[in-house]
Amino acid sequence: MIWSRFTSAATQLPWSLPADASAHGPALDHHLLLNLWIALALLALAHLILFTGLLARRHSAPNHLWRIEYLPLAALALLFATLTVKAERLWAAARYTGASPTALQVEATGVQFAWYFRYPGPDATFGLTHPNLVAPGEGNPLGVDPKDPHSADDHVSSQLVLPANREVDLRLNAQDVIHGFSIPEMRLKQNAVPGQTIHLHFTPTTPGTYAILCTQLCGLGHYRMNATLRILPPDQFANWLATQQKAAQ
């Protein structure tokens, strides 16, 4: 298994995007590549004009013609406007509305320097947390209040395990400083801000294991603040959830 990962990494070009494993990813990648190609073309064009102008024989200065002063600007304005509209539509689809009511509820909390994931259990409600109950040494890193009846069936995991092809409603918290929740393969990034709960929704598509990184400088252990996302086929996920809940009770 290690070997197969090694060979797959070796065949991947060092600059290619990581594999895409979420439902909104392909559209994002497509738009990103379109943008990159346009930027590359404009870069080549501008340098071509620059070098041609420098190499060509001297000629009188160009006049103030609207077609060299304003036409390229109008063309660029049109191009950027098109890209903006396309990007805004994708952004609106991803962020303007919340998750569907049937989405899987998971809470992710960033703490220097780890991510914790909490599943609400069969009652579908997260128990209350209090910062003065936080005791990582005693197995309560999030400070879940044992007196709250909703806490009893909550379970906390250091791995994010999700079923494929079901929307996830992730509520992001941070206990201490700002952290950045990022899953490159899911094309996701959102800061977790202390004092705020931020909702993020997405649908994983391809089973596998993926990296969860911290992408907002959070202290000396920032570089090692990572976790693993495991996407399982729905039936395997149901088994995993059942074992976790049995362990929690």
Partner 1 sequence: MTPHSNVPPTRSHGPRKLTPKPHPILSRIFSTDHRTIGIQYLILALVSVIIGTTLSLLMRIHLVWPDWPLPLHGLILPEDYLALVTIHGTVMLFFVLTTAPQAGFGNLILPAQIGARTMAFPGLNAASFWLTAIALITLLCSTFAPGGAAISGWTAYPPLSAVPSAGPGQALGMDLWLASIALFAIASTASSINTLTTILRNRCPGMTWERLPLTVWGWFTAALLSIIAFSVLLAAILLLFCDRHAGTSFFLPNGDLVNGVLHQGGNGSPLLWLHLFWFFGHPEVYIAILPGMGLTSMLLANFSHRRVFAYRTMIVTTLLIGLLGILLWGHHMFVAGLNPFASSAFSISTMAIALPAAAKVLSWLATTWRSRPSYKTPMLFALGFVSLFITGGLTGPILAQPILDEYLHNTFFVVAHFHLIMAMAGIFGLYAATYYWFPLLTATRSHPGRLLSEPLGHLHFWCTLIGAYAVFLPMHLTGLAGEPRHYAQLTGIPGPGGSLSPAGALLSHTLPLNRFITYAAFFLAAGQLLFLINLARTLYKGNFASSNPWQATTLEWHPTMNPFTPSSASDTSEISVHRMPCHYQSNKVEISFLPQWAPVSFAQGEIANATDSKPE
- Considering only residues 188 through 227, tell me which ones interact with partner 1, judged by CB under 8 A: 188-191, 193-196, 198, 209-224, 226-227
Residues with Cβ within 8 Å of 192's Cβ and at least 6 positions away in sequence, in order, are 108, 109, 110, 172, 173, 174, 178, 179, 180, 181, 198
- Judged by CB under 8 A, the number of residues near partner 1 is 93
Nearest residue (CB) to partner 1, 109 versus 151 = 109
187 binds partner 1 (CB under 8 A): yes
Q: Of the listed pieces 75-83, 101-109, 116-124, 231-239, which binds partner 1 according to CB under 8 A?
A: 75-83
Nearest residue (CB) to partner 1, 103 versus 178 = 178
Q: Of the listed pieces 57-65, 100-108, 117-125, 236-244, which binds partner 1 according to CB under 8 A?
A: 57-65
User: Judging by DSSP bridges, how do beta strands 227-232 and 160-163 pair with one another?
Assistant: parallel
CB of 143 vs partner 1, minimal distance in Å: 8
User: Judging by DSSP bridges, how do beta strands 208-214 and 227-232 pair with one another?
Assistant: antiparallel
The region, left, alpha or beta by phi > 0 then psi within -120 to 50, assigned to residue 232 is beta
CB of 249 vs partner 1, minimal distance in Å: 26
Cα separation values, 73 from 48, 63, 128, Å: 18, 16, 56
User: The sheet that has 179-183: what strands, in order across it?
Assistant: 160-163, 227-232, 208-214, 179-183, 188-192
When binding is defined by CB under 8 A, the residue of 7, 68, 146, 233 that contacts partner 1 is: 68
Nearest residue (CB) to partner 1, 69 versus 123 = 69
Residues 101-130 that bind partner 1 (CB under 8 A): 112, 130
User: Judging by DSSP bridges, how do beta strands 198-202 and 160-163 pair with one another?
Assistant: unpaired
Nearest residue (CB) to partner 1, 103 versus 213 = 213
Residues 132-161 that bind partner 1 (CB under 8 A): 132, 134, 143
Say if residues 140 and 134 touch (Cβ distance below 8 Å). Answer: yes
